[in-house]
């Protein structure tokens, strides 16, 4: 990485420089005061930077060199499925017929785009075992909320609007309880048992006639398959609730088990995880939702349908719909990439994806097991969670281990999550990594474990090779500086 | 299975299974109960080679009429603007697009700094104290603003102007339903929010008044007056603003807005059939700790060097869980980067010039329509859209126009029954005089 003081773009600004080339004004010019009333024209210009084109490129190139992506190196960030982002996807999404079409064009002029969306929907119906899929939610959390709103509408339509509780395991992603709150539900937490799975007795204890839904990730955030899934679904269905599948971990079960066959009533997928939409530094995502037949009437508007004549149409005539969750039809560009990926892999490919994702995780888990605590010792799925409690006793925290990994050129695992593991490290290698890459990372982890015993300060003081050292986060939060302000004088 | 995305060899697999102590890969799935196990393969289309798939998808793309090979006068929230070519070069750098949320600041300074710069540019344009790192889009951003206002004021009613984008209003309604918040529409008069109606509707349970700037009809609302009405009732004032128009227009922050939201699609982001775009969310300092989504702040490292981190995370879902007031996690970081590059390329001068071109070219179109005998309804100040009355149905007219390579305007009758046979025409800086003249001529011939 690039090690020098990095200017802000505003600090490169110099009055009189331009970085743009606007069309020539070929209509008669007007004085703005003739077109806009007094007070409508801003008095102070927005202080955007004035920089010439090459210097803009150098600035952002320098920034990119201070950033680690999947193409830069291994990125085993648990629960985020940081697999390779295929380049053909980028080319397809940039085809003019996809990138340069307006969402409000006459349907007859965008049939190709609608066909692609319909094909993607159809593929996801098969992959999830659901009856219908909407592509509208913009990201996983948005999909969670969309599905919960549908569950709420379902209960209300059945005269059961009193169902206001959503049950969430203690190992759940933070978005689960937050989505439940935003959809107007109260969250009840159900405990995990000593095997890291949902405690069925506790589940039986918390369900009741006010249960709206159970939200579950399977495999769960420990990377373990909830073996009692059918029994759990029975408990929830028995009291009239719905079972929701958080598809964040779908990479672990493709072609092995489908949410629809496991008793789930609805599911959201993260196309930016399993289906290679690039993560973009934090987004955009795409979070389609699949549902079983009895939830179909509540799908958000519009619903994409294929008409008898073979043409595609957005259907707005859905009287029981929860309404619109997003302007237009979802993050189309990400959906194009996901479809391209599915067509690149095909049925055999998707099966192999899951098999290698799980093989890789188990291999890493077994090789690291002698050096770190493994709280749940059984086959994992696509990821596993180690505990750094052994190292903590020696004064090295999981945060230190993560920072030390930076010195080896790796993005660390997800740390301190799930919440039910002390000093947790959640490792997800994905299927696109070679054995050599896995071995090199394992060697680094073993070295860090040894350093912890022999020379802990090298770990505690890490990172040593990055462009900056550990940042003062307390200061950032106490005296927030959220924008650049030009120094006077 | 051999595939270019799957590097493991048969030998690797064998060695790894030996380390694991498993006989086969299938054994690793033995915890999936037999009764739910999926057997066989998905019934989806077979895989295609890189070249064959590219060919197929190019053919599919070619079925669409795009705004590149046609001349587009369609706006209604999403616009065909100048996209500096460098934008795509920057966001194609895989250090940016293959990274995730910058959880590890030491190896994510590039992304963090880019977001910090984005926050600054949005704050500058909107005249607000601060902006977050982005939202999904303008519509969900507006909805989140409504939720923030309801939480902050502990009031349960949103007054939403009917001159806001209809799809945005629909999204607000869906979110509000989830939170048991009442949404009341404020009618328009002469194409802008009816201030007298607003005064009659506002009460001490009003959490916020929401308007759009310029509004859905391209008209420029009198923010000062509306904001004063909101504040008199102790409600918040929320403005959904086109940030490109703010190159010229007085920013909402100077006119009393408590929250300004909108979509930065206008800065270098393609129309892309509805997304991904780039919502933004800007507020006064007073609301800083209630802002949804991610915020990047400046700090120093152990050696005193300036650096950037995700900050004020106590607001967010992964910390607050069920107590969170927003569930947003992933945002639109890559599009925020795209918008930043476009805003940087335009710079202080360019953003004024591009905004002015939109106003001037739209005025030219307005005069041309009127000269050709059309009625342009709503005679207030406009930005880059005007409403033209037609004699024949708009959708049929648009079907004719596309034959001549023109993507016509938005058919207002589909959402405003009183505006049947009215078309919303968008004129950006990219439309030439000749293109405008041809549109007026073709529409004149069709409606004669």
The DSSP annotation for B109-152 comes to HHHHHHHHHHHHHHHHHHT-SEE-S-BS-HHHHHHHHHHHHHHH
Dist. CA B442–CA B439, nearest whole Å: 5
pLDDT for the residue numbered A487: 79
Point out the least confidently predicted range of A174-183, A287-296, B109-118, B198-207: A174-183
Residues A426-437: pLDDT tens digits?
Answer: 999 999 999 999
List chain A residues with CB under 8 Å of B57.
92, 95, 116, 340, 343
**Helix, strand, coil content of chain B in percent (nearest 5):** 45, 20, 35
Q: What distance in Å separates residue A390's CA from the closest CA in chain B?
A: 23
Query: Mean of the per-residue pLDDT values for chain B?
Result: 97
Residue A486 has pLDDT above 90, yes or no: no
Chain B interface mutation, best of A78, A103, A111, A282, highest count of B Cβ atoms under 10 Å: A282
Give the phi and the psi of residue A375 in degrees, each rounded to 5.
-65, -30
Instruction: Say yes or no for a CB contact (<8 Å) between B57 and A95.
Output: yes
User: Is residue A253 within 8 Å of A218, Cβ to Cβ?
Assistant: yes
Distances (CA, A) of B200 to B153, B184, B195, B257, B429: 20, 12, 9, 21, 39
pLDDT the model gives residue A4: 57
CA pseudo-torsion sign B58, B62, B68, B74: negative
| Structural domains of chain A sorted by starting position, each given as residue range(s) with its CATH number in brackets | 9-65 (no CATH), 82-466 (3.40.640.10)
Q: Helix or strand or coil: residue A38?
A: coil
The complex's ipTM works out to: 0.98
For residue A1, what pLDDT is reported? 45
Distance CA A32, CA B343 (A): 22
Cα separation, A111 vs A93, whole angstroms: 16
Q: What local confidence, expressed as pLDDT, does residue B320 receive?
A: 80
Is residue A488 very low, low, confident or very high in pLDDT (cuts 50, 70, 90)? low
Asked if A348's CB is within 8 angstroms of B47's CB, the reply is: yes
**Which DSSP symbol is given to B292?**
-
User: Is the preceding omega at residue A71 within 30 degrees of 0, hence cis?
Assistant: no
Q: How far, in Å, CA of A458 to CA of A449, rounded?
A: 11
Alpha carbon A234 to its chain centroid, in Å, reads 29
Confidence of residue A5 (pLDDT cuts 50, 70, 90): confident
Instruction: Tell me which residue has tokens 């699949």.
Output: A290
Across the A:B interface, residue pairs with CB atoms under 8 Å apart total 699
CB contact under 8 A, A230 and B329: no
Cα separation, A207 vs A402, in Å, equals 39
Interval B188-212 mean pLDDT: 98
Closest chain A residue to the Cα of B109, Cα to Cα? A66
Tell me the angle at which helices B333-371 and A53-65 cross, rounded to the nearest 10 degrees: 150
Walk me through the domains of chain B, giving residue ranges and CATH numbers: 71-82+347-447 (3.90.1150.10), 86-341 (3.40.640.10)
Per-residue pLDDT reduced to its tens digit, B4-45: 999 999 999 999 999 999 999 999 999 999 999 999 999 999
Q: Which A residues in the span 181-210 are in contact with B, Cβ-Cβ below 8 Å?
A: 181-184, 186-187
- Quick count: other Cβ atoms within 10 Å of Cβ A3? 11
At residue A3, the pLDDT reads: 47
Q: What is the mean pLDDT of residues A129-144?
A: 97
**E-assigned strand segments in A282-363:** 289-291, 303-306, 312-315
B269-321 per-position pLDDT tens digit: 999 999 999 999 999 999 999 999 999 999 999 999 999 999 998 887 777 88
- Predicted pLDDT at B319: 78
- The pair of three-digit structure tokens given for residue B123, joined into one six-digit string: 């704050």
Average pLDDT over residues A106-116: 98
Rg for chain A (alpha carbons), in Å?
25
CA A469 to CA B302: how far, in whole Å? 6
CA distance A230 to A234: 6
Identify the H or E element spanning B16: helix B10-20
Listed residue (B252, B193, B364) closest to A35, CA to CA: B364
Mean pLDDT of B132-156: 98
pLDDT digits (tens, 9 = 90+) for A189-199: 999 999 999 99
CB contact under 8 A, B98 and A278: yes
Helix B166-178 with A140-157: angle, nearest 10 deg: 70
pTM over 0.95: yes
d(CA A433, nearest CA chain B) in Å? 7
């Amino acid at each position: 990485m690039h090690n020098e003081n990095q200017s802000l773009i505003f600090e490169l600004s110099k009055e009189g420089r331009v970085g743009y080339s606007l069309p020539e004004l070929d209509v008669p010019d007007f004085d703005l005061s003739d077109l806009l009333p007094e007070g409508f024209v801003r008095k102070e210009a927005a202080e955007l930077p004035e920089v010439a084109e090459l210097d803009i490129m150098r600035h952002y190139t320098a920034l990119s060199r201070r950033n680690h992506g999947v193409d830069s190196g291994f990125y085993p960030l648990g629960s985020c499925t940081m697999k390779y982002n295929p380049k053909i996807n980028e080319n397809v999404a940039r085809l003019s017929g996809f990138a340069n079409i307006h969402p409000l064009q006459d349907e007859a002029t965008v049939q190709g785009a609608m066909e692609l969306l319909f094909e993607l929907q159809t593929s996801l119906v098969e992959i999830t075992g659901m009856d219908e899929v909407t592509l509208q939610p913009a990201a996983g959390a948005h999909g969670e909320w969309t599905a919960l709103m549908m569950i709420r509408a379902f209960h209300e339509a059945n005269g059961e609007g009193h169902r206001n509780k959503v049950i969430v395991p203690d190992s759940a992603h933070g978005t689960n309880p937050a989505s439940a709150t935003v959809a107007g539900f109260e969250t009840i937490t159900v405990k995990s048992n000593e095997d890291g799975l949902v405690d069925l007795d506790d589940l039986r204890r918390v369900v009741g006639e006010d249960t709206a839904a159970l939200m579950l990730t399977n495999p769960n955030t420990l990377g373990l398959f909830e073996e009692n899934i059918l029994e759990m679904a029975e408990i929830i269905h028995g009291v009239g609730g719905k079972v929701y599948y958080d598809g964040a971990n779908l990479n672990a079960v493709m072609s092995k088990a489908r949410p629809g066959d496991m008793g789930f009533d609805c599911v959201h997928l993260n196309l930016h995880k399993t289906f290679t939409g690039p993560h973009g530094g934090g987004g955009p995502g795409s979070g389609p939702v699949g549902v079983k037949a009895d939830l179909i009437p509540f799908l958000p508007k519009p619903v994409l349908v294929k008409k008898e004549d073979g043409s595609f149409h957005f259907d707005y005539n859905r009287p029981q719909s929860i309404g619109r969750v997003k302007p237009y039809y979802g993050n189309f560009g990400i959906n194009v990439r996901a479809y391209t990926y599915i067509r690149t892999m095909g049925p055999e490919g998707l099966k192999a994806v899951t098999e290698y994702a799980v093989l890789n995780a188990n291999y890493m888990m077994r090789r690291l097991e002698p050096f770190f605590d493994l709280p749940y010792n059984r086959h994992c799925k696509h990821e596993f969670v180690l505990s750094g409690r052994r190292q903590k006793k020696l004064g090295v925290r999981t945060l230190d281990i993560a920072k030390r990994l930076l010195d080896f050129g790796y993005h660390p695992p997800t740390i301190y999550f799930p919440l039910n593991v002390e000093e947790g490290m959640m490792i997800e290698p994905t299927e696109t990594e070679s054995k050599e890459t896995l071995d090199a990372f394992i060697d680094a982890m073993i070295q860090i474990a040894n350093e912890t015993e022999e020379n802990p300060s090298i770990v505690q003081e890490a990172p040593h090779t990055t462009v900056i050292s550990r940042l003062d986060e307390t200061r950032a939060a106490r005296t927030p500086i959220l924008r650049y302000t030009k120094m006077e004088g | 299975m051999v595939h270019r995305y799957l590097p493991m060899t048969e030998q690797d697999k064998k060695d790894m299974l030996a380390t694991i102590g498993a006989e086969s890969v299938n054994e690793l799935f033995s915890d999936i109960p037999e009764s739910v196990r999926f057997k066989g393969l998905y019934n989806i289309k077979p895989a295609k080679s890189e070249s064959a798939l590219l060919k197929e998808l190019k053919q599919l793309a070619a079925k669409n009429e795009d705004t590149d090979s046609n001349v587009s006068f369609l706006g209604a929230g999403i616009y065909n603007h100048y996209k500096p070519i460098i934008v795509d070069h920057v966001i194609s750098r895989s250090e940016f697009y293959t990274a995730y949320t910058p959880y590890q600041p030491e190896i994510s300074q590039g992304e963090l700094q880019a977001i910090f710069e984005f926050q600054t540019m949005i704050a500058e344009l909107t005249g607000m104290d601060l902006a977050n790192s982005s939202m999904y889009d303008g519509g969900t951003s507006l909805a989140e603003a409504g939720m923030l206002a309801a939480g902050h004021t502990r009031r349960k009613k949103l007054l939403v102007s009917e001159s806001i984008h209809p799809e945005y209003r629909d999204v607000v309604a869906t979110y509000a339903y989830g939170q048991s918040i009442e949404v009341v529409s404020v009618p328009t008069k002469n194409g802008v929010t009816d201030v007298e109606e607003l005064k009659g509707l506002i009460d001490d349970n009003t959490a916020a008044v929401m308007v759009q700037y310029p509004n859905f009809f391209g008209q420029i609302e009198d923010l000062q007056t509306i904001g004063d009405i909101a504040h008199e009732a102790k409600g918040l004032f929320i403005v959904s603003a086109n940030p490109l128009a703010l190159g010229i227009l007085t920013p909402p922050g100077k006119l009393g807005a408590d929250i300004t939201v909108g979509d930065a699609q206008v800065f270098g982001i393609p129309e892309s059939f509805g997304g991904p775009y780039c919502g933004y969310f800007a507020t006064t300092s007073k609301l800083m700790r209630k802002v949804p989504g991610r915020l990047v702040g400046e700090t120093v490292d152990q050696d005193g060097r300036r650096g950037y981190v995700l900050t004020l995370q106590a607001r967010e879902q992964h910390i607050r869980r069920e107590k969170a007031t927003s569930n947003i996690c992933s945002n639109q970081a890559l599009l925020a980067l795209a918008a930043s590059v476009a805003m940087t390329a335009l710079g202080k001068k360019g953003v004024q010039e591009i905004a002015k071109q939109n106003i001037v070219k739209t005025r030219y179109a307005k005069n041309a329509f009127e000269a050709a005998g059309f009625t342009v309804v709503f005679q207030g100040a406009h930005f880059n859209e005007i409403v033209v009355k037609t004699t024949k149905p708009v959708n049929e007219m648009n079907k004719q126009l596309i034959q001549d390579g023109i993507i016509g305007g938005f058919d207002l009758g589909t959402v405003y029954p009183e505006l049947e046979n009215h078309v919303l025409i968008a004129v950006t800086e990219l439309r030439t005089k000749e293109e405008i003249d041809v549109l007026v001529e073709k529409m004149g011939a069709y409606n004669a």
